Structure 1
Amino acid sequence: MTSEHPTPATDVGTDLDAWRRAQLADLLHFGGASLRADGAAQWLDDAGQPDRGQPVHTWITSRMAHVYAFASLLGAPGAGELADRALHGLRAVLVDATYGGWVASRGPAARPGDVDRSEEGPVDGTKSAYAHAFVVLAAASGTIAGRDGARELLDAALAVLDERFWEPGENLHVDEWSRDWSALDEYRGVNANMHSVEALLAAHDATGDARWLDRAASIADRVIGWAATNDWRIPEHFDTSWNPLPEFNADRPRDPFKPYGSTPGHGLEWARLLLQVDVAAGTPGARTDAAVALFDRAVADGWDGEHGGGFVYTVDWSGAPVEPRRYHWVAAEAAAAADVLGRVTGEERYAELAAGWWAWIDANLVDHERGSWHHELDTANRPDGVTWVGKPDVYHAAQAVILPDLPLTGSLAASAKAAGRILG
């Protein structure tokens, strides 16, 4: 990527398309600093510097590989090399050569100032469906982008997701194993399955194997069924028999991955994914009503217009806010869902909502001085990291800002390939 910090080309209010492309350039520049020489992605602080007190995570490294893979298809300068580096990090650093699959994280392993060391250090050996779904996504996007070694990585990651996590009788993925695969956690969750849908759609685009599309559709339909009987608030947490646990983590409302209650951001994310399933499956309209219902419920519950705007993180089962702080990824998913719903339904209201949200994002989330987006705001919309400290992730924002420029397919990488080299 370029060595200088990109300057936004225009104000969001004057030319939204140009503003979004400038945002993508900034996000790609900012995120590139995360990748070590060995390809593992480091956690970035607010200024975009690696936080070497943090381990390197499989899910972050995978997201970086995915983002730079689809950016390379669009012609973003330097993106291909960064995608290759991150894919190498998955193959060489975060893979578990002893037990198979991918560990959750390694490190911190480097001495201060010694960024090239890749010794193991402390290991979180948890084998999570969430992290493995992102390995599949990274490898699938890399395969679509023609990156060396990506197809072999994809085959290996799909084999683990299939053999270790898939429950054929339930048509869902289990959540977590111990490092040696000897102990399966009793918890079952929707978050990992949501990202598995995203990953399986990309795997279908990368391989042409209908099995992965069928699995994505079956997961989506299970979630639609649960949401439809719960006023379109998605139950997130389940026991081993997939019975909902509505009070799970009631004492942990700020948990970054398994919070109590309903998560409006996931309703928005699912709305987009349902429509992508329909595009991939050639079933237009099959899941549109469900996508609209999820979107409308999430906006009604989540958007806090009384306090300067912004989406709350979680609500209870009546829609009352539980964690009212604002996370950047929720706003990104709102804008992305609005774009896709507008295209599928033809309704103008979605474009109007998206335009308002982009203006709010520019005013509150975009860090115009240091780059990227603030990951968390307090209830007065001031940057304030409690759950999310620093800026470890460009994935949600990068996808959201480029999605309106791409044709709608099952995956971002397939859409980027269809669009061609529109950047650089």
Structure 2
Amino acid sequence: MDNPITHLHERARGTRLPSESGSAALRAHYLNVVLPIWRCSGFNAALGLPFEAVSPEDHMPLPPKRYRAMACARQLFVFSDIGDLAHAATLFASLRHYFHDSQNGGWFYSVDANGAPLERQKDLYTHAFIVFACAHYARISDTKAAFDVVDDTAKLIEARFAAGDGVLNAVVSEDFCVTQTGPLQNPVMHLAEAWLAAREATGDASYDIRLAMLLKSVVRTFVDETTGCIAELPIGSVDNRIEPGHQFEWFFLCMGSGNPAFISTGLDQRLARAFEFAERHGVDERTGAVYAALDEKGCVIDDTQRIWPQTEYLRALATRGIAADTLGAQIERYRARFLHARGWVESRSADGAISRADMPSTTAYHLATAYASLFKATDEQ
């Protein structure tokens, strides 16, 4: 299946997009405002690592307390995707230099301001993003070392995060001997994304098998059969919640990939219902903004409006194939509420007040993946 991620790279080379299209403005903002931040003031050239966040006023980095492997991996994806392979190579080298645990295997969660290991635990979320980013970098650059990282990290995930019956733990100790956090939905979702990227990059059918096993565990562990939604914690957990943004994200992974594992597990039908539930209960009718979390009945339990669920909603809408005017209207609502001339608003409260003003390096990943789907939808209509 055609990968919508590649469309962003094509746009960067100057492929025409109708000037009246809302997605054209998103493209221009991303290429001319967002990306330059992370090549310049948002990048610590001395360490070869992206700062965690910058100020929206002058794009100066916030004083660094740590650098996360996941943030480096997301930036590796972003610059691989856009075709800036020189910067991507720097990020790939930094990822391996600072975060790889040569003694125990796997990848540290973070390093301190000087580049020394800080948070040494091994978490599935980080490992999933390393597979995902290195798969994209390997596919675009044909770098053998990146293919090796994908293969080695995939095997390590299977061997060291297993919790039994196909379920994976979210966080384990530095030496992988102690489980610190049991299964969680979010790292599993990003691992599904990583297996899809690795399959595309390598052509190795073993990633289809890995994906099928993972999705079976998701159905058994996280699916609320009443709504079709995928909960954040295993079903039956106290204080469980449903995040609309994650329903939209899962919907894209299913419908956008067309991988038969989603159909064989019945997740495609469940996620169609989950999309409707999340849209009905989790999107503010007045502003079009997506809320952070619902309970299993659809009541809003966290009305924070972060930017990433908005981008996942746009990506899901584009993947669903809605009318161009409907999609365009939602793009404009998103632009008005979350983008500005110096960058973006990371988070707002329901009444519109900015609740997080700084701009983290991780957000560019969400912008890139959403905008790619919007460009593809524009081409097809």
Name the TM tier (shorter chain): 0.7 to 0.9
Of residues 31, 35, 43, the one that matches 1:35 is: 43
> Of 58, 64, 73, which aligns to 1:53?
64
Q: Which residue of 2 aligns with 1:76?
A: none
Unaligned stretches of 5+ residues in structure 2: 1-11, 13-17
Q: Distance in 2 between matches of 1:59 and 1:314?
A: 23
Which one of the candidate residues 46, 50, 53 is aligned to 1:44? 53
SS state of the match for residue 188, structure 1? Answer: coil
1:403 deviates by 2.1
Deviation at 1:353, TM superposition (A): 4.2
Tell me the equivalent position of 2:110.
105
Name which of 76, 99, 110 aligns with 1:65.
Answer: 76
Residues 148-157 or 318-327, more deviating? 148-157
Q: CA 1:276–1:166 in structure 2 vs 1: closer, same or farther (change >3 Å)?
A: farther
Distance 1:280 1:45 in 2: 41
DSSP-derived class of the 1:185 partner: strand
Separation in 1 of the partners of 2:108 and 2:236?
28
Match of 2:317 in 1: 338
Name structure 1 gaps, 5 residues minimum.
1-5, 7-11, 73-78, 110-117, 248-259, 343-347, 408-418, 420-424
What is the aligned length? 355
2:249 to 266, 269, 288: 269
Aligned to 2:308: 329
Question: What aligned pairs does 1:296-375 form with structure 2 within 5 A after superposition?
Answer: 296-306=276-286, 308-342=287-321, 348-349=322-323, 351-368=324-341, 370-371=342-343, 373-375=344-346
Distance 1:80 1:406, change over 3 A: farther
**Are the equivalent residues in 2 in contact too, given 1:329–1:396 (CA < 8 A)?**
yes
2:89 to 80, 84, 93: 84
Q: Which structure: greater helix fraction?
A: 2
Once the two structures are superposed, residues 345-388 of structure 1 have per-residue CA deviations (whole angstroms, 9 ceiling, x without a partner) of xxx35x454322211111011121x12x2110121223221xx8
**Does residue 1:403 correspond to 2:376, yes or no?**
no
Find 1:218's aligned residue among 213, 221, 225: 213
Q: CA deviation at 1:234?
A: 2.0
Give deviations 1:127-163, integer Å, cap 9, x for gaps: 0000000000111001111253322222222222222
Distance in 2 (alpha carbons) for counterparts of 1:234 and 1:279: 18
Relative to total residues, which structure has the larger strand share, 1 or 2? 2
More deviation, 278-287/49-58: 278-287
In structure 1, what is the equivalent of residue 154 of structure 2? Answer: 158
SS of alignment partner, residue 265 of structure 1? helix
8 Å CA contact 2:224–2:231 kept in 1: the answer is no
1:191 is displaced (CA, Å) by 0.7
Please state if 1:278 is matched with 2:251.
no
Q: Distance in 2 between matches of 1:156 and 1:83?
A: 20
In structure 2, relative to structure 1, the CA distance for the partners of 1:285 and 1:96 (3 Å cut) is closer
Percent of aligned positions that are identical: 22
> How far has the Cα of 1:173 moved from its partner?
2.1
Letter in 1 for 2:140: A
Q: Is the 8 A contact 2:51 2:64 kept in 1?
A: no
Aligned residue identity for 2:330: W
Distance 1:31 1:53 in 2: 15
Please tell me whether the aligned partners of residues 310 and 334 of structure 2 are also in contact (alpha carbons under 8 angstroms): yes
